[in-house]
């Protein structure tokens, strides 16, 4: 049996959102809720998301803006618009903007599930790429969760440490907040774990990555950089390779 598909439901009306969540949950999907556009955009950019159900009239960022931003960073992510705005102009704008389908409210549970199933059939599960990163003579195989050094030393990474690295790699060039790491790696969105736990994992991860070559001051071989007041990001100079692609520097 394959993994359960994850669907993000971006809807500001509580009753409608809960109804859609219940329909999808009973059908066997994993569901993430968002009550405004900005939160919906953040949740939809997570690496494990398979489909987004998107309302148009949203606080903080409307659905068309969310769709536009998603298409810049996640061009292949399936999106279905769920909206009471049923005019031809709105439908055309949504589909031309990159939506895979447009469902007009009100809709039945059967119709919604049929639309979701149809879009996901056209969008098969994406294989997980094999990611390696390197700095100096040290290479990290994120799939095997191991660090290999030029002298032959091999150090294992924990699942959490590998998850943190993969999150930083997938957002190379920008900072990733502690809260985002809690959500993406731990699956925690309610603040149930102190962000200090992230700092402890980052410290251990840095120690493993630097080995004997770097101290605690971060002056040598900076794999994970601290962005004051924001979180962490992949260090400048770290090279990323996916499958057989050539490595490229993070700038």
Structure confidence at residue 15 as a pLDDT band (50, 70, 90): very high
Which 3 state secondary structure label does DSSP give 115? Answer: helix
C-beta separation of 233 from 165 below 8 A: no
In percent, the amount of the chain with pLDDT more than 70 equals: 82
Tell me the domains of the chain and their CATH numbers.
Answer: 6-122 (3.40.50.2300), 131-249 (1.10.10.10)
Q: What distance in Å separates the CA atoms of residue 20 and residue 14, rounded to the nearest whole number?
A: 10
Q: How many CB atoms lie within 10 A of CB 76?
A: 7
Residue 178 pLDDT exceeds 80: yes
Q: What distance in Å separates the CA atoms of residue 50 and residue 180, rounded to the nearest whole number?
A: 18
Comparing 30-34, 174-178, 191-195, which segment has the lowest mean pLDDT? 191-195
Residue 13 pLDDT exceeds 80: yes
| pLDDT score of 109 | 96
| pLDDT score of 179 | 80
Mean pLDDT computed over 55-79: 91
Give the pair of three-digit tokens for residue 85: 């705005």
C-beta separation of 26 from 149 below 8 A: no
Would you tell me the crossing angle of helices 196-210 and 159-170 to the nearest 10 degrees? 90
Q: Which of 5, 10, 13, 56 is nearest to 33 (CA)?
A: 10
| pLDDT score of 144 | 81
pTM listed for this prediction: 0.54
Position with higher pLDDT, 59 vs 189: 59
Would you tell me the crossing angle of helices 14-26 and 109-122 to the nearest 10 degrees? 60
Residue 129 pLDDT exceeds 60: no
Residue 1 pLDDT exceeds 50: no
The single residue listed with the structure tokens 């903080």 is 60
Taking only the tens place, the pLDDT of each residue in 195-204 is 677 888 899 8
Taking only the tens place, the pLDDT of each residue in 131-163 is 789 998 899 988 788 999 887 889 988 877 888
| pLDDT score of 244 | 45
């Amino acid at each position: 049996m394959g993994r359960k598909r994850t669907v993000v439901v971006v809807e500001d009306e509580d009753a409608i959102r809960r109804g859609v969540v219940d329909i999808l949950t009973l059908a066997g999907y994993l569901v993430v809720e968002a009550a405004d556009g900005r939160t919906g955009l953040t949740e939809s950019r997570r690496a494990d998301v398979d489909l987004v159900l998107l309302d148009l009239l949203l606080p903080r960022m409307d659905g068309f803006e969310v769709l536009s931003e998603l298409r810049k960073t996640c061009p292949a992510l399936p999106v279905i618009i769920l909206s009471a705005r049923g005019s031809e102009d709105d439908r055309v704008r949504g589909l031309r903007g990159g939506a895979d389908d447009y469902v007009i409210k009100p809709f039945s549970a059967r119709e919604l599930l049929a639309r979701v199933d149809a879009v996901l059939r056209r969008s098969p599960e994406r294989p997980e790429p094999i990611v390696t990163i390197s700095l100096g003579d040290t290479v990290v195989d994120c799939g095997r969760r191991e660090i290999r050094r030029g002298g032959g030393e091999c150090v294992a990474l924990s699942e959490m440490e590998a998850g943190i690295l993969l999150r930083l790699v997938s957002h190379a060039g920008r900072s990733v907040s502690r809260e985002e790491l809690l959500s993406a790696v731990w699956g925690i969105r309610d603040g149930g774990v102190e962000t200090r736990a992230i700092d402890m994992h980052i410290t251990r991860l840095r120690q493993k990555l630097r080995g004997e070559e770097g101290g605690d001051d971060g002056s040598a071989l900076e794999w994970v950089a601290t962005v004051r007041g924001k979180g962490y990001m992949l260090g400048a100079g770290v090279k990323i390779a996916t499958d057989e692609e050539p490595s490229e520097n993070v700038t």
